[in-house]
Amino acid sequence: MTASLLTDQERAELAGAIDARMATLRGEIVAGLRQSDDPTVLQLANHFEETDDAAVASLELATEIAAVERDVQELTALQRARERLRAGTYGECTDCGTAIPLARLRAQPAALRCVPCQNAAERASGAHAPPRL
């Protein structure tokens, strides 16, 4: 693999951004979990079978769960990025080994791939497939 072209200052900047985002995510996860213990949310869950609003209650609970799951996934990706920083492989595309542009890392600190490889991975997974009827 090609060595990362990040300077020590850029690496430090990105490490700080990763740590800051991780702290934010931890707070959001804790808030999301505490919200699930909120009596109002529990009351919605208890009224699932009793009211005509069961669909709304279900949607609200599913949305909360999905938000927490999304935050946990991002936190995990950021932890892996921090591990790559320590290992000296941060900023290298995991597919082709080229340096990931600094602008991309600033926008997406957990990025694993350069833009062309990320686009190819999304096409291969069908992430941007047009809707079908």
In three-state form (DSSP H/G/I as H, E/B as E, the rest C), the secondary structure along 93-113 is CCCCCCECCHHHHHHCCCCCC
Joined together, the tokens standing for residue 85 give: 């920083």
Instruction: Tokens for 100, please give them.
Output: 């990931």
40 vs 60: which has the higher pLDDT:
60
Higher pLDDT, 80 or 44: 80
> Where along the chain do its domains lie?
8-125
Q: What is the mean pLDDT of the chain?
A: 81
- What mean pLDDT do residues 101-115 have? 96
Determine the distance from the C-alpha atom of residue 83 to the mean position of all C-alpha atoms in its chain, rounded to a whole number: 16
Give me the sign of the Cα torsion angle 20, 25, 28, 33: negative
Mean local confidence (pLDDT), 60-73: 80
Q: What is the pLDDT of residue 28?
A: 82
Q: What topology does CATH give the domain 8-125?
A: Four Helix Bundle (Hemerythrin (Met), subunit A) (1.20.120)
Place of tokens 């109002």: 40
The better pLDDT of the pair 65, 100 is held by 100
pLDDT at 29 exceeding the cut of 70 = yes
Between 47 and 90, the more confident residue is 90
Which residue pairs from 101-108 have beta carbons closer than 8 angstroms and sit at least 24 positions apart in sequence? Answer: 102/6, 102/10, 105/6, 105/14, 106/13, 106/14, 106/17
